A and B are shown apart, each in its own frame.
Chain A
Amino acid sequence: MAGDGQDQPIIRLRGIRNAFGPQVIHNNLDLDVRRGEIIALVGGSGTGKSVLLRTIVGLNRPAAGSIEVFGQDILHLPKLERRKVEQRWGILFQNGALFSSLTVAQNIQVPLKEHLGLKGPMLEEIAALKIALAGLPPEAGAKYPSELSGGMKKRAGLARALALDPEIVFLDEPTAGLDPIGAAAFDQLIADLRDTVGFTVFLVTHDLDTLATVCDRIAVLGEKRVMVVGTMNDMLEQTNPWIVEYFHGPRGRAALDAKARADARRPD
């Protein structure tokens, strides 16, 4: 595919403007996401993190700006082409957004049926595989979303997002509402899957542990744009008061200390 080379950013936002009535959320916002990285979007409440995510995946049309994903200008793609692009990404919504009338296995099968026309035992087999990859017990497949705990719903949502083996996975607050053990396991799961399946992860989070342990880069949203993008170490050197408060506050310190200890324990 033209412009789909390895060095090109996989997502490229330029001059994005989002406004609801007189209230401007984003103005002239730029962001590049590199292929294969785990990038986190952070920012205070009301800075439009979720809006930006929804804008990239096409649930919200920006007032101005351009969005390129896989080198294609997705705001101006014909419908059919756009559907093809949509098959190459998966989205995990904040509460899983599983279809409540379908079992977990059926939820995972929806994109397989819709986009690939798969049927029969192959569907069951792929659903079982994704359920296992997402770290759910085998019995979870036959359960309905209302029978699952919050953490299991997130895993089931992830399994559905991964159904088509997407190249980009969007995660909206993946660890919110999980206990620390569950959250750490979920972080590890995302990092493992990135290493094996090789997708790019774009996540919105407030979880400093997630930021410290699995994210390659962090993008800070503020003043209606992306203020800084960089690694955790870059963040620590920033002087913007909000960023200092965020990363040097007691919680930020604790997360970094925990990571330092974990790194020290590791044999390599």
Chain B
Amino acid sequence: MMHSPSAAASGLLSFVEDSGRLRARLQGRWVVANAEVLDRLLGAAPAPAGRELDIDFSAIEAIDTVGAWLVHRTAARWQQAGGQAVITGATGEHEVLLGQVAKADRPAPPAQKKLGRFAAMLDRLGRRTVYVWEDLLRLVSFLGETVTAMFRLAFLHPGRFRLTSTFAQAQAVGIDAMPIVGLISFLIGVVIAYQGVDQLAMFGAQIFVVNLVAVSVLRELGILLTAIVIAGRSGSSFTAQIGSMKLNEEVDAMRTLGLDPVEVLVVPRVVALMVMLPCLAFFADVMGLLGGMLMSWVTLGIPPDVFLNRLAAAVTWKTYFVGVVKAPFFAVTIAVVGCLEGLQVEGSSESVGRRTTQSVVKGIFLVIVLDAAFSIFFATIGI
């Protein structure tokens, strides 16, 4: 790809001593492709020590801005060291080029002060801590803003509520998510039944697999898995949609037209998810139980009617409600995080990607934290 230094050296630059003056004869192509070789050759030039240097352009074949820059830099270095550098044999074009790069010679901007490794670590830790705290405040304040907007729309200006948009969102986050949510829940039901039978067989209590599947799917897994899938699916799409609109200045345009982005963009998404997530959770529960039932039939020979009888004995409506009551809370969390991240997009398309990732990570994290809080709460009040 590049010439070897020695081969290029003979073709590019030679030094001749001439009655106390040093003559540098430039030959060949002084272009960017040879930049590194040229830099090395010039760097290896004899030390200035107050002498005169003639830079001879007469044999040069081609020179571009980088070549001219290297010449300019070398001449400047000699002059700084108390020597003289004179350019000879340059054509008018060469002179113009040298003039142009001389104008481009200016002090580099002061470099950022570098911290030591430990200090840098502390610096990062501090920044992260402040960021996490600020992020939490932003989330809480945005939640407040959203809830206020929802009440405003519900009681003061019901006409401003965007029904069409809400239905479109409901279709996207609810109906369109059914295949994936259903499949995952079904498989989870299968897995729990299969693993449970193995363990319960040690006590000869295989029949209790029905209790195991019913309680775990209805109370916890149905809703939790649905929420996680939706955080990944819809939380990210909220961020990407709103983020792209933000980049395209659509959100700013809304503001100038007197539309509140929270009312127009956020509320329909939050409402849609609040309505659809409980429905999806119900669907997930049904599919999970179906998976458990199928597996019990296949591995244990428990026929569906026996399974359903057992199910009626094992769980009450309360078990189901304890699970599904969490859904609206998860929905608000996912939707609010997704929309807030979207509204925080700024600058470049890269920011959309970063915010989308953040939205999914935060959404899932908060859903799990909330779920744990619910568990503690239910245990305390004895449900």
Residues of chain A touching chain B, judged by Cβ–Cβ distance below 8 Å, are 100-101, 112, 116-118, 122, 125-126, 128-130, 132-133, 138-139, 141-142, 144-147, 162-165, 192-193, 195-198
| Structural contact, B97 and A100, CB atoms closer than 8 A | no
- B351: nearest residue on chain A (CB-CB)? A146
Per-position 1/0 for B96-108, Cβ under 8 A of A = 1101110111111
Q: A196-B97, A197-B65 are in contact. Are A118 and B350 (CB under 8 A)?
A: no
A–B Cβ pairs within 8 angstroms, 9 of them: A116-B32, A122-B36, A122-B39, A129-B66, A133-B100, A133-B101, A144-B348, A165-B65, A196-B97
Q: A116-B2, A118-B36 are in contact. Are A132 and B109 (CB under 8 A)?
A: no
Question: B residues touching A (Cβ–Cβ < 8 Å)?
Answer: 1-2, 31-33, 35-36, 39, 64-66, 69, 73, 93, 96-97, 99-101, 103-109, 112, 346-351
B109 contacts which chain A residues (CB < 8 A)? 138-139, 141-142
Q: How far is the CA of A100 from the CA of B347 in the complex (A)?
A: 9
**A139 (CB) vs chain B CBs: closest residue:** B109
Minimum-distance CB pairs A-B, first 10: A146-B347, A132-B104, A100-B348, A165-B64, A146-B348, A196-B100, A138-B109, A139-B109, A100-B350, A196-B96
Q: How far is the CB of A88 from chain B (nearest CB, A)?
A: 11
Contacts of B103 in A (CB 8 A): 132
Given the interface pairs A129-B104, A165-B65, the reply to whether A144 lies near B35 with Cβ below 8 Å is: no
Question: Taking A112-B32, A116-B32, A138-B106 as contacts, is the C-beta distance between A146 and B346 under 8 angstroms?
Answer: yes
A101 to B350, Cβ gap below 8 A? yes
- How far is A105 from B211 in the complex, measured between Cα atoms in Å? 64
In the complex the two chains form, is B347's CB within 8 Å of A144's CB? yes
Which of A125, A142, A146, A197 touches B97 (beta carbons < 8 Å)?
A197
A36 to chain B, nearest CB (A): 11
**How far apart are A109's CB and chain B's nearest CB, in angstroms?**
12
Closest CB in chain B relative to A177 CB, distance in Å = 14
Q: Are B100 and A126 in contact, with the CB atoms below 8 A?
A: no
A132-B106 in contact (CB<8A) = yes
- Give every chain A residue within 8 A of B112 (Cβ-Cβ): 142
Q: Contact: B32 with A165, CB < 8 Å?
A: yes
Closest to A101 in B: B350
Q: How far is the CB of A121 from chain B (nearest CB, A)?
A: 8
Contact between B97 and A165 (Cβ–Cβ < 8 Å)? no
Expressed in whole angstroms, the Cα–Cα distance for A129 and B72 within the complex equals 12
Residues of the B chain whose Cβ atoms lie less than 8 Å from the Cβ of A126 = 32, 35, 66, 69
A100 to B352, CA, bound (A): 11
In angstroms, Cα B99 to Cα A112, docked, is 24
A139 to B112, CA, bound (A): 11
Residue of B nearest to A116 (CB): B33
- B2 and A164 contacting across the interface, CB-CB below 8 Å: no
Q: Which residues of A contact B65 (CB under 8 A)?
A: 129-130, 133, 162, 165, 196-197
Q: Is the CB of B32 within 8 A of A164?
A: yes
Nearest CB in chain B: distance from A84 CB, A: 11
The reply to whether A122 and B35 contact each other, CB–CB distance below 8 Å, is: yes
Residues from chain B with a CB closer than 8 A to the CB of A192 are 100
Residues in B whose Cβ lies below 8 Å from that of A195: 96
CA distance A162 to B105 in the complex (A): 17
Max chain B C-beta neighbours (<10 A), residue from A122, A162, A198? A122
